[in-house]
Amino acid sequence: MSTFQAPKGTYDLIPPDSATYLAVRDAIAAPLRTSGYGYIETPGFEDVNLFARGVGESTDIVTKEMYTLTTKGGSELALRPEGTASVLRAALEANLHKAGNLPVKLWYSGSYYRYERPQKGRYRHFSQVGAEAIGTEDPALDAELIILADQAYRSLGLARFRILLNSLGDKECRPVYREALQAFLRDLDLDEETRRRIEINPLRVLDDKRAEVQKQLTGAPLLRDFLCDACKAYHEEVRELLTEAGVVYEDDEKLVRGLDYYTRTTFEFVHDGLGSQSAVGGGGRYDGLSEMIGGPALPSVGWALGVDRTVLALEAEGIGLDVPAPTSVYAVPLGEEARRVLFGLVTELRKAGVATDFAFGGRGLKGAMKSANRSGARYTVVAGERDLAEGGVQLKDMESGEQEAVALGDLVAVVQARLA
């Protein structure tokens, strides 16, 4: 065993479990790829101020959870705690919004980092797939993204997730609500840190999970009562479009999400089989974020879905994904000449698109066949001196146990036909 271990709160993805994670990522990305979203990849670290300005200086993410570092040149960097600010920064830097085709639709996948108390479903390193639609204010865009996430989860077979929906208003109506909420919160019995948050971003207090805080929030003013006519109409159209698409959602007036940049539409995907860490993904509209990080006004909307949490949701529903075996054919050579010939056949099979592996290390037949079994291969190709002298190999069906001689020149075509 190695002296070193993965850092606390992190995990290693290793086979065979890693195949499930890849399948989940692919399933989430699939509807995005067919809806005009192009792939983007950003660095694992950014200027610390990108997140301080964009995510919000009052958020737990920035104040408590962000990993920061100082470079040898004195620059302050942070490991990315979320994806939206990085993607928007990259889109602005590349002037994608000036190409004349708005919205700029992007999707991404990667690891993110937050210093949190480790527990099941909450890690210090986690994996997400996200989508952003930049530069257009349109309720249909908000609805599209929610529908695509719903479609992704249903394609995996998930049924016990719920979609929570709310509107956070905009720069016209939210300040009025903010004042009313601050007035209400200032009269409550709260600790100093929460009182400081009341002055910076009072909506974040509504998101406080502590029971002693939540019980005092009964009777707090509701944002829906302060929405301006434009925000009400916008939100109603999002709701109608979702209903027409057959997407079931629940209105949640206390849903604010943990990031400061959200405006208008906000939503969360929760799964009741995950206990306290029930959120599997979420997102919303962030019309002012571009200006916060020094760009032009670019109304945008997006979401991120947790791959780790989605895998846990699949486990909670007892869903096993049909992940294909990494190997279809396993080649077992008996002797040096067979080793040379079969290695060439393995290369041919791979070029023909057949997942093929080889018994490396010169093991005997018994040990090599055990490895073939463990690989999950459907067929094993075995060849010894006698087989080669006759110009063929033995092809064994690992399910039925049947074995037959196949000519060397016919092997690739025979295997392809059997696997088709």
Query: What is the rounded CA–CA span in Å between residue 377 and residue 325?
Result: 7
Helices (runs of H) and strands (runs of E) counted in the chain: 16, 16
Which distant-in-sequence residues (6+ apart) come within 8 Å of 313 by Cβ? 158, 160, 161, 271, 273, 274, 280
Buried b or exposed e, range 340-364, using 16+ CB within 10 angstroms: ebbeebbeebeeeebbbbbbeeeee
Residue 171 structure tokens: 């720069």
Tens-place pLDDT, residues 57-78 = 656 667 678 899 999 999 999 9
In the numeric block, the tokens 């040096």 are attached to 336
Angle at 126 between CA 307 and CA 214, to 5 degrees: 90
* pLDDT of 362: 80
What pLDDT sits at residue 298? 95
Mean pLDDT of the chain: 91
Q: How confident is the model at residue 353 (pLDDT cuts 50, 70, 90)?
A: very high
Tokens of 83: 């994806």
Domain locations along the chain: 17-173+227-316, 329-419
Looking at residue 218, what is its pLDDT? Answer: 86
Lowest average pLDDT, out of 40-44, 54-58, 195-199, 411-415, goes to 54-58
Q: Which residue has the higher pLDDT, 259 or 367?
A: 367
Mean pLDDT value of segment 10-30? 93
Write down the pLDDT at residue 20. 94
Regarding pTM above 0.95, the answer is no
* pLDDT at position 24 over 80: yes
DSSP line for 350-388: HHTT--EEE-TT---HHHHHHHHHHHT-SEEEEE-HHHH
> Is the distance from CB of 150 to CB of 263 less than 8 angstroms?
no
Between residues 2 and 30, the one the model is more confident about: 30
Task: Kindly report, residue by residue over 211-239, the tens digit of the pLDDT.
Answer: 888 888 888 888 888 999 999 999 999 99
pLDDT of residue 85: 92
pLDDT of residue 163: 97
Convert the pLDDT of each residue in 160-204 to its tens digit.
999 999 999 988 888 888 899 899 999 888 888 888 888 887 887
Burial class for 277, CB neighbours closer than 10 Å (0-12, 13-18, 19+): middle
pLDDT range class, residue 123, cuts 50, 70, 90: confident
Half-sphere exposure of 44 (CA within 13 A, CB side): 10
Position 57 scores a pLDDT of: 61
Note whether 48 and 66 are within 8 A (CB): yes
Question: Could you tell me the sign of the dihedral formed by the alpha carbons of 398, 404, 408, 410, in that order?
Answer: negative
Q: Is 282 helix (H, G, I), strand (E, B) or coil?
A: strand
H-run or E-run covering 182: helix 174-185
Q: Quote the percentage of the chain above a pLDDT of 90.
A: 68
**For the chain, first and last CA: distance in Å?**
42
CATH code for residues 329-419: 3.40.50.800
Mean pLDDT, range 284-310, rounded to an integer: 93
Mean pLDDT throughout 299-319? 95
pLDDT of residue 260: 64
Domain 17-173+227-316 has CATH 3.40.190.290: no
- pLDDT of res. 258: 58
Do domains 17-173+227-316 and 329-419 share one topology? The answer is no
pLDDT at residue 420, as a whole number: 86
Confidence of residue 206 (pLDDT cuts 50, 70, 90): confident
Mean pLDDT of 101-125: 88
Please give the C-alpha separations between residue 256 and each of 21, 202, 253, 380, 383, in angstroms, as whole numbers: 29, 10, 8, 56, 65
